[in-house]
Chains A and B, each alone.
Chain A
């Protein structure tokens, strides 16, 4: 191409003073930790290789999330090391997986554990082992640093996520009345963590209607109150309050002491716990081992993973329970196990966006956002000077049926979700695109069990919990709610049952 003199002067002088066309800052990233391809092999009943090798292991744990790792932890702390844990993914941890870059470690999913109450005995025991609880004191540097949470609403920031700005007297009265109701439920002692300890048929009726219907029955109509209740359900259950059992909605607010000073958290979220557990049980773990069949034999249980057949006396099935019908011959299709699809993203920030009127906090939420907000991984750093950081952005896909949303997760490409995330953040942080250099996205079709109406007291659940002498189900989805404490409880319980059989004591 030949440039005319004028054009040449124009172009070169523009280049000299930096007036070339402004281009948008490039943001790198990709999908990470995709695992549905493997899951779909099971779903589609694909042919797996026949076993070429046989290995004997008295105990096989299937699934290396918190439930499986906790079972392994209990076995080893009781001096029993003759077991194998099979994990489908390359990285164990399940919903407590983490990532790390040159700035910091960061969570891929669960990012905190509320300070456990006195009933969560196993959790307290674990935290004593990990040095989180010392002589009855919680280690200060593992408690979320202040300021903890902030909510953006009506063009301004407030501390805390429960709306406190722009409330009418009626809103205030309703928040207060609901708080009083939750206090009553708390006092009843039926809404406990772990769920199993307090579960009482006295409140079974609450499992027969949705949380939002219950709220309506109680005469609540405050928009902000519904937003907050919906937020809680989306955050903990990946569901709207209309898709959540009232029992579970009440449990969220009534199972913990309100004045707790936590939560406990780490830069990599619950990945920190996973790391500590891996230090203790790592040598028993086989990663990238997808179990494709579990069959009961006369003497025990055969677990088929890859081309290996494990001969076990006991199997602790800590993988998500919805996989059971595809692995066991004698488990019928399950109806009461609904899972919420999620998306998490880790955003690398070269600097914080401007946010006037609020100190950067640990957890940031926007009112009326379809997503759940973000958590700052560097917030738990001891450093005084922080420039670069990583934000973990959470998004439970709650509108519409889970199956449709799973389809959406699969269909849309990375650029679509990147734009969706930036679009959401941009409403509050207009300069976010100038701050972000990378966005990695993790898609989880079955991220967590959904405590749908009727699921807490479901027959299916009770049946699986007492399934078999040799096969013990241990995933948190047995409780109907997907929280760290439930996973850990079921894992430890299963391990204790096995120890009782093998050694005569739990």
Chain B
């Protein structure tokens, strides 16, 4: 019996810590400033535990009975705390008030637990053993909880269900205690019924957690972060808001799953459909495999070489179920060869020729990326073009960064290519621009692969027309020794944000 008692101490301690962590994490996630949130929540929580401990001296009789009720209460309050906080944030102005009220209630209840347990056990063991054992298991439980929380609970269960799971554990301990302390309890049956009610409530909660989260999220602007990872090269963040997946690289939005088809169809099809019998395609950047997905719609394409710097990126888009669903497992196609290499040196040293080249790099936000938008780079890339080939370049927004867009077009011309700029509206990006370039004239293709949602033969010509607010500007070409594009781009966006 002894060890079972102490295991309930361990469980109880774990529950107490989990509620504290849930409150801290949720507050950081919703309000921000994690240092402030964790500090104040831990402080308040510990202080409330002190109040609980102090109050414990006013409980004289029926200790076991009261312990069971405390566990049940904690199971309910703690278990639903996360859901309650989410809803409070989504629907009320008083998130902080509710947060700290909850923290205090939970802290007081947790503060009552250990003193009560010690007193219950006092008659069974020597006092010094009680202290030693109870505290040992208390701390062990805390350790377990603090490790489980970030490694398993948050990633696998989420905050709402984690809290409820531990609410269930509290309720379980309550139920368990009615048997353990049966000889000290009167009315054990009633207590057991109450326990079952709480367990059922929490069980339903866990089953319905998704709805609770969804209801709350409908009102919360922040999206769920599915993962955030630092690779050697960049900071990758994938977020989800309802059915919308978004990828951010170094905080720049790369795509939104709701409208990326517009971007990737426009990136690939106007150019590729204009190449007669394309066999070999090269993609520089684009480790998300979404452009590859579009290219795979051409059965005559025999091989696609994808050069992306970051192996973490291509690995993720080859393995993560949400992402492979999005790119139709394109990176796993036997026609696709993934090369993880720095694009410029690769282009410089590789001898192969391609019928279509997709250049889909992040915007030129710094001098390193700026190198990939220079005459030197486009000259090197153009050497890989077959006689009938075209290349297409992601060229930022002709609307928000108009100077930059036309600077990229001018750079391609300076590199000896004919250019055919076009633009497309992607809701999550706004107006976005591409420049198609080649050594010969471009003729609108008469047909496209079936099943496209955006690009079609009728609507194509419009993409190549620029209204006055995006009309061509005379810009200098971008070169390695001038890097005018990086400076231009910085100014373009500075103008937007003011």
- The residues of A that contact B375 with a CB separation of less than 8 Å are 140
In the complex, whether B439 has a CB less than 8 A from a CB of chain A is no
A297 contacts B by Cβ under 8 Å: no
Q: Which residue of A lies closest to B347 (CB)?
A: A382
**Chain B residues in 8 Å Cβ range of A383:** 342, 344-345
- Interface band, chain A: 10 to 19
Interface locus among B218-226, B458-466, B477-485 = B477-485
Asked whether A384 and B374 contact (CB < 8 A) given A143-B480, A146-B480, A146-B483, the answer is no
* Set A140, A359, A384, A386: member contacting B480, Cβ < 8 A: A140
Q: A376-391, CB under 8 A of B: which get 1 and which 0?
A: 0000001111100000
Task: Report B's interface with A, CB cutoff 8 A.
Answer: 232-233, 309, 342-345, 348, 366-369, 371-372, 374-377, 479-483
Report Cα–Cα, A383/B349, bound state, in Å: 12
Contact code string A120-152 (vs B, CB < 8 Å = 1, else 0): 000000000000000000001101111110000
- The answer to whether A146 and B342 touch (CB under 8 A), given A140-B375, A382-B348, A385-B309, is no
A462 CB within 8 Å of chain B: no
> If A140-B374, A140-B375 touch, does A385 touch B479 (CB 8 Å cutoff)?
no
For A177, list chain B residues within 8 Å (CB). none
The answer to whether A146 and B482 have CB atoms under 8 Å apart is yes
A143 to B344, CA, bound (A): 16
Question: Chain A residues near B372 (CB, 8 Å)?
Answer: 384
**7 tightest A-B contacts by CB?**
A146-B483, A143-B481, A382-B344, A140-B376, A384-B368, A383-B342, A145-B480
Q: Given that A382-B348, A384-B369, A385-B233 are known contacts, is A140 also in contact with B342, CB under 8 Å in the complex?
A: no
Closest B residue, CB atoms, query A139:
B376
* B309 CB contact (under 8 Å) in A141, A261, A384: A384
Note all chain B residues with C-beta closer than 8 A to A145.
Answer: 367, 371, 480-481, 483
Question: Most B CB atoms within 10 A — which of A143, A144, A146, A359?
Answer: A146
Chain A's closest residue to B233 (CB) is: A385
In the assembled complex, which residues on chain A have CB atoms less than 8 Å from the CB atom of B366?
359
Contact A359 B344 (CB under 8 A): no
Beta-carbon contacts under 8 Å, A346-393 to B:
359, 382-386
Q: With A262-B481, A384-B369 given, can you name 11 additional A-B contacts, CB distance below 8 Å?
A: A140-B375, A140-B479, A140-B481, A144-B481, A145-B367, A145-B480, A146-B367, A146-B483, A359-B367, A382-B344, A383-B344
Once bound together, how far apart are the Cα atoms of A402 and B343, in whole Å?
48
Most buried by B among A145, A147, A384: A384
Q: Which residues of B contact A141 (CB under 8 A)?
A: 376, 480
Q: Which residue of B lies closest to A383 (CB)?
A: B342
- Complex Cα spacing A384 to B232, Å: 13
A384 contacts across to B, CB distance below 8 A = 309, 342-344, 368-369, 371-372
Q: How far, in whole Å, are A150 and B348 apart by their CA atoms in the complex?
A: 29
Q: How far is the CB of A132 from chain B (nearest CB, A)?
A: 13
Contacts of B374 in A (CB 8 A): 140
Chain B residue nearest to A384 (CB atoms) is B368
Q: Please name all residues of chain A whose beta carbon is closer than 8 Å to the beta carbon of B377 when the two chains form the complex.
A: 382
A386–B368 CB distance below 8 A: yes
In contact, A382 and B371 (Cβ under 8 angstroms)? yes
Q: What residues of B have a CB within 8 angstroms of the CB of A359 in the complex? A: 366-367
A140 to B345 Cα, complex, angstroms: 15
The residues of B that contact A385 with a CB separation of less than 8 Å are 232-233, 309, 342, 368
Docked CA distance A145–B373 (Å)? 13
CB-CB under 8 A from A143, the residues of chain B are 479-481
User: Can you sample 16 A-B contacts with CB below 8 Å?
Assistant: A143-B480, A143-B481, A145-B367, A146-B480, A147-B367, A147-B483, A148-B481, A359-B366, A359-B367, A382-B342, A383-B342, A383-B344, A384-B343, A384-B371, A384-B372, A385-B368
